[in-house]
Amino acid sequence: MEQLFVSKAEKFIEEKSVESQKTKDPIIWTTSTKLKKSLHIGFYRSLFDYDSSQTFISVLRENQLNIKNKNRTIALIMVGGGNFAGMIVSLYPKTENYKNYFKMDELNVLHHKTFHRYTTRRKQGGSQSTCDSGKGAVISAGSNLRRYNEAALQTEIRQLLTSWKHALDKSELIFVRASGKLSHKILFGYENSVLSITDKRLKKIPFTTRRATKNELIRCFNELTMAKIADIDMEEIEVIPETQITNLTNISKTIVADKEFEIQKKNTSQIIFLIKKGNPQKLIDYIEKNALSYDFQFQPISFYQHISTPLHLSSSLSLSFIVITLLEKGANPTIRNGNGKTAYDIAGNKTTQYAFRLCRASLGEERWDWGLAHVASPLTENEIKKREAQSKELKIKTLQEKQRQKEELKKLIETSPPKNLDTEIIKKKSIISLSLEKTLQDQRNLSPDIQKRIEREKRARAAEERIKKSKLLG
């Protein structure tokens, strides 16, 4: 596709055909008497500046390239995520071959520069200054490095813009993409700033861009300055069958459903994160702020078969205090997960089960069908404390009994065995260990018959040891 050169725009483009001229559509679509009716030519609206007294055709003619004036330039600037890319490009190619103008080698780039600084934490996003303003300044090696790099990047960009001031003043248009408050602050509003937010030449890049690099700037320039051609038959659109309209409606409903599903997935991730953090108040605030149910079904359902609701997740993680909070807020304990189990069924420990039974007592039997929820008989706080104390006492007694039996066995061994027999056993053990070591070293070189004999001797010695020990303890 080439740039559109129109010498007699009045004869080429129909003024009545200019569509979306007064709308917010980023592209102005036109038709031509020299092309078939279904072909539409599009131009980005941001390339043209005209008021109600002017027509699109007159402005289009004024913007055509003039061989006598070869000093026309456009500036493109992109800042974001610690990356900067700037370029001032002439509207005329290096050679007179306009057909190859959009090839990278033919572009007449007068100035270009890129910077990169580490200013955002990996996988976390957001600048360090934004994080500091929201959570307070964190002191760490990484955060200090990011703060330094933010300041350095700001200084480098402003110095570059100052050095380009003469070329920027002559540029017809300045396209800027500054994502985030920090990027906007770097370019505008400081003392003796080169760019002004009130400058009429200043335009936003009217489409999605990628990371700020020189190649991305060239892609944006080509996208902006190339005419778009679309083949749209208006007559066919007017006679679209009702079945196709129904299909389009169904497609739009599917798109809406997909968007809702993505929102539900996002809510799922956030609720799970807050539960695992163990902060019931923030969990409640999030659920109420987003008008969600306390029985919110985690999405996708197939992935959350076991922990399908906030109550199931809290119960399985043994977070008894969150279980109590959710039940008091109205979470339904009778809901079953994908495996047919209630939240009580998958409780991680006794304390969590006590939380359910405590809520059964405090909320009342009429609140839920507690039997359907598999929750055991109700318990008051005093009863739970009494049970916990009994359980603790039983554990202490069990440990004490084990310790007593251990000490008795130790005393029996110390007082019962004869000294000579004990010494003899120790000597035999040392002799056996030495012979075994030697046997293992030479085992590969022995014949199978000798190996079998050694094994018989080992078993005989072991039998003797067992008999002596039984006599000793008997």
CB 74 within 8 A of CB 172: yes
Residues 6+ apart with CB under 8 A from 209: 78, 177, 216, 220
CA distance 33 to 36: 7
DSSP-assigned letters across all residues of 63-89: TS--TT----EEEEEEEETTEEEEEEE
Residue 453 sits at φ, ψ, to 5 deg, of: -65, -40
Residue 293 sits at φ, ψ, to 5 deg, of: -85, 150
The tokens for 454 are: 């050694």
Sheet containing strand 109-116, edge to edge, reads 109-116, 83-90, 73-80, 173-178, 202-204
CB 176 within 8 A of CB 202: yes
* 161-166 LR contacts (CB < 8 Å, sep 24+): 161/86, 161/187, 161/194, 161/195, 162/192, 162/194, 164/75, 164/86, 164/88, 164/111, 164/194, 165/194
Q: Is 232 left (phi over 0), alpha (psi -120 to 50) or beta?
A: beta
CB 381 within 8 A of CB 399: no
The tokens for 447 are: 């014949």
The residue annotated as part of the active site, out of 64, 124, 128, 159, is 128
For residue 127, CA distances in Å to 84, 119, 174, 179, 251 come to 14, 6, 25, 11, 38
112: helix, coil or strand?
A: strand
Q: DSSP alpha helices (H): ranges in 278-335?
A: 280-289, 310-316, 320-329
DSSP-assigned letters across all residues of 261-286: HHHHHHHHHHHHHHHHHT-HHHHHHH
| Strand 202-204, strand 83-90: pairing | unpaired
CA distance 337 to 353: 17
Residue 128 is among the residues annotated as catalytic for this protein:
yes
- Residues tagged active-site: 128
